[in-house]
Amino acid sequence: MIYSKVMSDRLNIIGIGEVLWDMFPEGKQLGGAPCNFVYHANKLGGNALAVSAVGNDENGKDLLALLNKKSISEELFQVNEKPTGTVEVSLNDQGVPEYHIHENVAWDFIRWDSAFHQSISETDIICFGSLAQRNRISRESIVRMLKSAGPDTLIVFDINLRQHYFNKEIIENSLQSCQVLKLNGEELQVLAGLFGLTGKSEEAQLIDLMDHYNLQLLALTHGSQGSLLMTPSEKSYLPTPMVQVKDTVGAGDSFTAAMIVGFAKGEPLNVLHQKAVDISAFVCTQEGAMPEYNEIEIYRKPYKWKT
């Protein structure tokens, strides 16, 4: 394990980016990868905060009220004149979501605030993605936040490519700012095209990325087809458990949270990988991205497996 910073048992964690309502046919649910990540990081023993923005509207008020119920602090939230973010979500036959993300919403306009500096400079882990960088205002603020991180802060780029909201420059700048990258198979194909990754296998392409950007940890997920974690010195592959899927919304964010909390604490790669798989499998058996659970119960696998 490369990462060896000595930390307290309760990690300070920040997730930066979009917060929104996922608008399902049966009603709206709190969403946005950073808030999902923060929720699960808190469940796993972290002291996690989200940086985002909501509008001064009913959706914004409802969202902040639900964050409070989910024990997610609004300390680093902004309220602006733009509408609160919403995403139209439909699920295919396998419960996998398809998204239509509305533009020019509150989280597109996160502005740098000096109040961010102390929290960010003292945090152990920062997680961010590409979607919240689609607008220049939020992108410049995110870049400034990353530059405000302490020298020992572990920075995680959970790439989360959505629709057309990314380009090579945004991705490359993000890769240069992080030590940990998480992506899925489709996203690896996009990066292979953008950056000319010539490896004949996915693993070879991952090694190219790890070497070029000096990454300490890289996670590749393939949904029901398993996941691969790699450091410069070791790797771990695990199949995806066969569970009764209700929906997969938030499963990847729970995977990221479990993985990075374990990595920051210096857990063996195979151990933290198994925890990430268990948490994400459980989330797939529940409705929505933020189900109630107890960490210890999850690791005992109380949910029913397919045979």
303 inside domain:
no
| pLDDT-above-90 percentage for the chain | 74
> Greatest CA span in the chain, whole angstroms?
54
307 inside domain:
no
Burial of 14 (0-12, 13-18, 19+ CB in 10 A): buried
Which residue range is the domain that position 141 belongs to?
Answer: 12-295
Q: Tell me phi and psi for residue 78, to 5 degrees.
A: -115, 155
What pLDDT shows up at residue 3? 52
Taking all residues of the chain, what is their mean pLDDT, rounded to a whole number? 90
202 inside domain:
yes
Q: What ranges make up the beta strands (E) of the chain? A: 12-16, 20-24, 27-31, 47-55, 77-80, 85-91, 97-101, 125-128, 154-158, 180-184, 217-221, 227-230, 235-238
**Average pLDDT estimate for 55-63:** 97
Q: Is the pLDDT of residue 269 over 90?
A: yes
203 inside domain:
yes
Q: What pLDDT band is residue 95 in, cutting at 50, 70 and 90?
A: low
CATH number for position 224: 3.40.1190.20
Q: Is the pLDDT of residue 89 over 80?
A: no
**Distance, CA of 97 to CA of 30 (rounded, Å):** 14
Token pair belonging to 225: 């087809």
Lowest mean pLDDT among 113-117, 127-131, 301-305: 301-305
- Residue of higher predicted confidence among 254 and 22: 254
What pLDDT shows up at residue 6? 44
304 inside domain:
no
Q: Tell me phi and psi for residue 173, to 5 degrees.
A: -60, -35
Q: Is the pLDDT of residue 153 over 70?
A: yes
pLDDT tens digits, 236-264 = 999 998 888 888 888 999 999 999 999 99
What pLDDT shows up at residue 246? 84
Q: Is the pLDDT of residue 62 over 80?
A: yes
What pLDDT shows up at residue 26? 79
305 inside domain:
no
**How many structural domains are present in the chain?**
1
**Average pLDDT estimate for 278-288:** 90
**Average pLDDT estimate for 35-63:** 96
- Residue of higher predicted confidence among 10 and 128: 128
Q: What pLDDT band is residue 8 in, cutting at 50, 70 and 90?
A: low
Q: Is the pLDDT of residue 232 over 60?
A: yes
Q: Is the pLDDT of residue 1 over 90?
A: no
- Residue of higher predicted confidence among 148 and 22: 148
109 inside domain:
yes
